[in-house]
Chains A and B, each alone.
Chain A
Amino acid sequence: MNIVVPIKLVPDLVEELEINDEETDLDRDFLSFRINEFCDHALEEALSLKEAHGGTVAVIAIEREETDKVLYTALAKGADRAVKVTGVDEAASSHEAAKAMCQVIGGMEYDLVLTGVQAADDRDGQMGVLIASYLDLPHVSVVSDVEVKGDLIAVHKEYAGGVMAAFEVAPKAVLGIQAARQTPRYAPVSRVRQIMKEAELEEVEAEDGGVTSGSTVRRMYTPEKGEGAEMLDGSAEEVAEKIAAILNERKG
């Protein structure tokens, strides 16, 4: 089972996000990036499939400030190849990123592409489904369980309320991973440092994919912060009435 994991780096949401003067994008001067948490799960699922069934895991990421570290970390965790894609704009849309990833994936031998189901910045759609569409591959997203069943891959796709749909798909296929079966593994810093000395990242320069998001951000802003709870007063009966009304309005 040869698996490709296109990794998205996203701004670290723990830090404060600033918006540029034009109010059309984040102020990218001081952003720090990290691996999208769902991509970390996709990588984990890929590595556990490799451990169980053999094969290889290749990771791909578009060049950002922290890409080398993310790719070396993936190698330290057990990935076999790491490819850095250069020449893609900082503010590239999901469509553009997916197209750039496809340029690399297209030249690889693989059975599965595992992506994170979504990312904090995919304003124009989730990258995994876009990759599948550009490569004309079947896809299932919001997947939490991947199992090899003979020639087929059996997956569970999560719906609301804990209900899941079971699918079988014949490789090649793209799966958008919601959660790996186990918590993403940790690579000790010493191991990452060692890999940085031993391994080299492959580099591919992306060509213009000829696609755009098809939309323009005219205004980006921070939503208003609440000023604490609106307190509901009255008897238990009256307060219950008010809460019921709020809940009913919400539920529609």
Chain B
Amino acid sequence: MGNDVLVVAEHLKGEFTDVTFELLGKGRELADATGGSLTAAVLGSSVDASALGAADKVVGVDHASLAEFNPETHLAALVEVVGHVDPRVTLVANTSMGMDLAAGLSVRRNAPLVAYALDVKVEDGSVVATSQLYGGKIYAESVLDGDSGIVSVLAGSFPADAGRKDGAPAVENVPAPASLDGARVKFTGLVEPEGGDVDITQHDVLVCAGRGIQSDENLPVIEELAGALGGAVCASRPIVDNKWLPKTRQVGKSGLTVKPKVYVALGVSGAPEHLEGMKDAELIIAVNTDETAPIFEVAHYGTTEDLFDLVPALTAKLK
């Protein structure tokens, strides 16, 4: 009740996802600013919540059907937790998992939902969320009605560090709803991407090799940087035309459109056909010795440093 904030903790393969910590950091800030407490909702089976120290407490449902994310069981369990905590605002990640929860929670709880949020704050007792709409062309500030709302937040909106704090908060489990035993949706397994067939549209970090890499012999240097960033290597058209990388890696008009959180363009001039495929990346860093290269028009940061000097130095710093 009152000004309590609930963050839905998302976990995959036994670890809380980065966005969980982003939400916890923001949730902590909102709770502290309004005199409320911060609760993390943990839906799982014997989940270790000791990484959730940013929260004052954990309210969870512990049940075998929650071990892996399941849109049906996790929603049913979340509805119970929200009913128990009765928070002022529930923060859900606008991720693949969160999209299966937020709208359903809105209907079950008859509570407002604002999605695609980049920011959320409490002003004079009202929850206000800023959404990124229309492909990022438009922002909308929404005021949520009533005294209990849901905001689904785009991953990467807040620093995760603010929410990383060890120290096991007290865990209270609420009873699992009966429906968990008869779920209509069954999880049957995780499918890992096949090696050699990278889906660059699914990566948060992309390092793009352009004509400026000069030779396929230089690809390992680029791959090392991508590895240090936890990302994948993509390419502009000349690289693919030269058969240095497969077509599945091509970004641009005749390749794929990508919107990663981070896009590092190495030796990419930035032809319109290329820009079309990547200009909506959240953070673009361009390296090109030609200071008039059009890539610098869309990049947030740029440098004319020689990529063969810069990339190894950068990789070393990131490791």
The interface-forming segment of A39-47, A82-90, A228-236 is A228-236
- Checking A162, A170, A219 against B203 with a beta-carbon cut-off of 8 angstroms, the contacting residue is A162
The size class of the interface chain B forms with chain A is 35 or more
Question: Which B92-130 residues sit within 8 Å CB-CB of chain A?
Answer: 95-97, 99-100, 102-104, 106-108, 111-116, 128-129
| Bound Cα distance from A167 to B74, whole angstroms | 14
B145 and A125 within 8 A (CB): no
Q: Mark B290-304, 1 if CB is under 8 A from A, else 0.
A: 010000111111111
**Which residues of A sit under 8 angstroms from B313, Cβ to Cβ?**
236-237, 239-240
A232 B100 Cβ-Cβ under 8 A:
no
Residues of A within 8 A of B (CB-CB), count: 78
Determine if A123 and B296 form an interchain contact, defined as CB atoms under 8 angstroms apart: no
CA distance A74 to B171 in the complex (A): 52
Residues B12 and A230 in contact, CB atoms below 8 Å apart:
no
Closest A residue, CB atoms, query B97: A159
A35 at the interface (CB under 8 A from B): no
B283 touches A233 (CB 8 A): no
Please measure, in the bound complex, the distance between the C-alpha atom of A97 and the C-alpha atom of B111, giving whole angstroms.
Answer: 17
Judged by a CB distance under 8 angstroms, whether B212 is at the interface is no
Task: State the CA gap A236–B114 with chains docked (Å).
Answer: 44
The reply to whether the CB of A26 lies closer than 8 angstroms to some CB of chain B is yes
B95 touches A160 (CB 8 A): yes
A139 — nearest CB in chain B belongs to which residue?
Answer: B71
Name the A residues within 8 Å of B162 (CB-CB): 252
Q: Nearest residue in B to A14 (C-beta to C-beta)?
A: B135
Cβ-neighbour of B96 out of A160, A217, A240 (below 8 A): A160
Residues of A within 8 A of B104 (CB): 129, 132-133, 139
What are 24 inter-chain pairs, A to B, with CB distance below 8 A?
A13-B137, A17-B134, A17-B137, A120-B134, A123-B116, A124-B113, A125-B102, A129-B102, A142-B96, A162-B202, A166-B188, A168-B185, A169-B185, A173-B184, A216-B145, A217-B142, A218-B142, A221-B138, A223-B137, A228-B297, A231-B302, A239-B310, A240-B317, A244-B317
Known: A125-B103, A126-B115, A221-B140. 4 other contacts (CB 8 A): A124-B113, A163-B191, A215-B114, A252-B158
